[in-house]
Chains A and B, each alone.
Chain A
Amino acid sequence: DAKTTQPTSMDCAEGRAANLPCNHSTISGNEYVYWYRQIHSQGPQYIIHGLKNNETNEMASLIITEDRKSSTLILPHATLRDTAVYYCIVRVEYGGYQKVTFGIGTKLQVIP
């Protein structure tokens, strides 16, 4: 699986959009971009994933650049409950087998 690079930490004002960047310059054509988050003392939680098109769900939006070398996770209206570590992961789908390699992630602090 390709490696990812994320900022170690970020702050975001409550109610504003949180934009979390991820670089994955060595991503290959069949690798998906996944985002998980981990709130303190809980297990990670899936947020969203995509291959090359932008994706949106009830939690967030994922913007993937045209060359697929980077992506941005957008939380449109951050709340205090969004304070967490956010992990960007790239991996191939092995017919459903999903060995996930987490990095250190970005610690997002939402500030009142």
Chain B
Amino acid sequence: DTGVSQDPRHKITKRGQNVTFRCDPISEHNRLYWYRQTLGQGPEFLTYFQNEAQLEKSRLLSDRFSAERPKGSFSTLEIQRTEQGDSAMYLCASSPASGGNYNEQFFGPGTRLTVL
């Protein structure tokens, strides 16, 4: 399968713990996005990378959140000192810089986080 992959698919943690999620985009895509989706809502934009550069961060991305894409390939999203309000689906998407489908964002299956 050559689509966007995310790991883990599910994560249950206790409040106050740190968690890290990984996203592997489609290999030739240099744009990578993170979104958060809570129950009954559409995905909300968190941050955007072009290659290894983080070019935009939403105000939803508090100081406890950090995202990296060190080599311009996979990306990680870390949440420190998790809170119950962080419980959500975290979605990763990627898109190419050019080409016939550069208008599309290709989404991964998401990581569902539950904070107890």
Q: Point out residues on A near B: beta carbons under 8 Å.
A: 32, 34, 41-46, 49, 85, 87, 93, 96-105
Contacts and interface: CB of A to CB of B under 8 A. Distances in A.
Contact of B98 (A32, A41, A42, A96): A96
B72 interface: no
A97 B31 contact: yes
Interface stretch (B13-21, B48-56, B63-71, B74-82): B48-56
Contact of B44 (A87, A97, A102): A102
Nearest to A105: B42
A96 B97 contact: yes
A96 B45 contact: no
Contacts of A32: 103
A49 B104 CA distance: 9
Interface in B84-105: 91, 93, 95, 97-98, 102-105
A49 B44 CA distance: 20
Contact of A102 (B42, B48, B50, B109): B42
